[in-house]
């Protein structure tokens, strides 16, 4: 069964950003303490690991519709194969007013 969509996982994205920011902070602290060519090489290495949106590891599936009894529903689920993050949302509401849900009498 195929997914409805593949997206960037918010948890993986946060992990990547946190790691990037930690390396960047450490790099900034090294300014003036290491040779210039080493500082520039480190900057280029850090730039290469900048988190991007191309890591589509979050599988998204959804369903939207109405039932024969007049209920409207939304079902959404997502899961990441890398960090195992998952989320599920379900919503249901009667779409018909009570008088509309009664079957009509035949004349």
pLDDT of residue 54: 74
Q: pTM (2 decimals)?
A: 0.70
Q: Are the beta carbons of 63 and 89 closer than 8 angstroms?
A: no
What percent of the chain has pLDDT above 70? 89
Q: Average model confidence (pLDDT) for the chain?
A: 88
The full DSSP string for 22-57 is HHHHHHHHTTTTS-HHHHHHHHHHHHHT---TT---
In the structure, what pLDDT confidence band is assigned to residue 5 with cuts at 50, 70 and 90? Answer: very high
| Phi and psi angles of residue 99, each rounded to the nearest 5 degrees, phi first | -70, -25
Q: Parallel, antiparallel, or unpaired: how do β-strands 58-66 and 5-7 relate? A: antiparallel
In the structure, what pLDDT confidence band is assigned to residue 102 with cuts at 50, 70 and 90? Answer: low
Q: What is the pLDDT of residues 28-59, one digit of tens each?
A: 999 999 999 999 999 998 888 877 777 899 99
Instruction: Specify the higher pLDDT residue, 101 or 11.
Output: 11
Instruction: Specify the higher pLDDT residue, 52 or 23.
Output: 23
Alpha carbon distances (Å) from 99 to 73, 102, 103 = 20, 6, 9
Q: Give me 91's structure tokens.
A: 């919503």
């Amino acid at each position: 069964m195929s997914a409805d969509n593949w997206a960037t996982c918010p948890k993986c994205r946060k992990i990547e950003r946190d790691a990037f920011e930690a390396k960047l902070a450490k790099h900034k602290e090294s300014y003036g303490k290491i040779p210039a060519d080493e500082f520039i090489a480190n900057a280029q290495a850090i730039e290469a690991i900048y988190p991007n949106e191309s890591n589509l590891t979050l599988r998204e599936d959804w369903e939207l519709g109405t039932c024969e009894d007049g209920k409207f529903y939304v079902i959404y689920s997502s899961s990441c194969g890398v960090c195992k993050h998952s989320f599920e949302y379900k919503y249901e509401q009667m779409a018909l007013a009570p008088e509309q849900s009664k079957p009509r009498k035949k004349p």
